[in-house]
Amino acid sequence: MKDLESKLKKLPLVAPSPDLDDRVSAQKTGRPVRRFPERRGVPVWVTGAVALIMAVVGFAVGASRRGEQPHRRPGRERRPPVRLHVIYNSPSSGNPFDFTRASDMFPAGKMETTTQTQKGA
Amino acid sequence: MHTLNGALQEIYRDCRQQLLTCALAITRCHDRAEEAIQEAFYRLFRLNKKPRHLKAYVFRTVRNAAIDQVRRNPPPADEVHEFIFDPGANPRETAAANEFKRRVTEAMLTISTDERETIVEHVYGGLTFREIAQVRQAPLGTVTAWYHRGLKKLRARLEE
């Protein structure tokens, strides 16, 4: 082990910069290096007081509005009725899977439908 | 206070190379290592009372400042990391010596951080095992185990 230690000790090391002595000496009188601005904590009583005031104001506003009727928001119109587009198989077509020809459009709403089943179709 | 600053300056004067080497082993960046020394001495010059083991305390403060440096400014992944050995080509150095230096650097980087730091602190920092134990706040037996295990691994890597 001793031979390895002595070999290691002979290796040249990175030297300090010439101005490091001055920089270290300057730390004796230098001003503190603050990377981040000092934080001042908010006192608990201020936090509590603000929370209490906000709660009182919130309840007061809520109580005054409780009697009002709900009103529609201005600038928002009713949407046009949706139309329902139904495509069905035309009886005139020979192809039972042809749904391209006959179609009808109905206004949206309640619609009753009946289904007929043809025998031998 | 005045005596404490005088003692600190004396330690700095005697151990500046060792302090830089130990800081450099952690930061692996020359500028960050020197900044760590500055920060450490800024704190040391403001101590109210003299610590019991002043030299170990100075080394510990520099070590902590170096660790802080790495945490605050982690080196970019693409940065070429330096190590404690002077990479400058010395014309007096033979090719074999340069090759040995390169291999030692590589081998040092393969062993654990504790082992590497202990070797650097003992071989290049000139600290005794007891002082290293004070610096690292670790038991003496652990420190000697780190050292011998690290040196053994280093030897094995160099013989490969």
pLDDT in tens, B83-119: 788 776 566 667 777 788 888 888 888 888 899 999 9
Max Cα distance, chain B (Å):
53
B16 in Cβ contact with A20 (< 8 Å) = yes
**Pairwise CA distance, residues A11 & A52, whole Å:** 69
The span from the first CA to the last CA of chain A, in angstroms, equals: 100
Query: Residue A119 domain-assigned?
Result: no
Mean pLDDT of B131-147: 92
Q: Does residue B96 share a domain with residue B74? A: no
Question: Residue A86's domain spans which residues?
Answer: 82-108
Residue A32 in any domain: the answer is: no
Residues of B in contact with A20 (CB under 8 A): 16, 20, 34, 37-38
In a domain, A44, yes or no: no
Domain end, chosen from B63, B84, B105, is at B84
**How many structural domains compose chain B?**
2
Share of chain A above pLDDT 90, in %: 13
Cβ proximity of B15 and B61 under 8 Å = no
- Per-residue pLDDT, averaged over B10-20, amounts to 89
CB atoms within 10 A of CB B147: 22
Contacts of B20 in chain A (CB under 8 A): 14-16, 20
Picking from B64, B84, B104, the residue at the C-terminal end of a domain is: B84
Per-residue pLDDT reduced to its tens digit, B30-55: 888 889 999 999 988 888 888 888 88
**pTM of the predicted model over 0.95:** no
- DSSP E strand stretches across chain A: 83-87, 103-107
Within a 13 Å sphere around the CA of B7, how many CA atoms are in the beta-carbon half? 16
| Inter-residue long-range contacts of A93-102, CB under 8 Å, 24+ positions, other chains counted | A96/A121
Between A14 and A46, where is the model more confident? A46
Domain that residue B39 falls in = 1-84
In terms of CA atoms, which chain A residue is nearest residue B100? A11
Query: Rounded to the nearest 5 degrees, what angle is found at the Cα of B15, between the Cα atoms of B62 and A14?
Result: 80
Between chain A and chain B, the number of residue pairs with CB atoms below 8 A apart is 76
Instruction: Evaluate whether residue A104 is within a structural domain.
Output: yes
Percent of chain B with pLDDT over 70: 91
Q: Residue A87 falls within a domain, yes or no?
A: yes
> Are B71 and B112 found together in one domain?
no
A32-53: average pLDDT: 75
A97 domain-assigned:
yes
Residues B45 and B97 in one domain: no
Complex ipTM > 0.95: no
* The total number of structural domains that make up chain A: 1
For residues B144 and A11, what is the distance between their CA atoms, to the nearest angstrom? 22
Q: What is the CATH number of the domain that holds B128?
A: 1.10.10.10
From the list A7, A12, A30, the residue facing B85 with the nearest CB is A12
Nearest partner of B104 among B121, B83, B125, B90, judged by Cα: B83
A21/A30: higher pLDDT: A21
The DSSP 8-state label assigned to residue B122 in this structure reads: I
| Number of H-type helices and E-type strands within chain B | 7, 0
Burial B91-114 (b: 16+ CB within 10 A, else e): eebeeeeeebbeebbebbeebeeb
**Are B3 and B65 found together in one domain?**
yes
Q: Report the 10 Å Cβ neighbour count for B64.
A: 16
Residue A35 binned pLDDT confidence (cut-offs 50, 70, 90) = very low
Beta-bridged to residue A86, according to DSSP, are A104
B13 and B53, same structural domain?
yes
> Same domain, yes or no, for B63 and B142?
no
Q: B82 CB near a chain A CB, below 8 Å?
A: yes
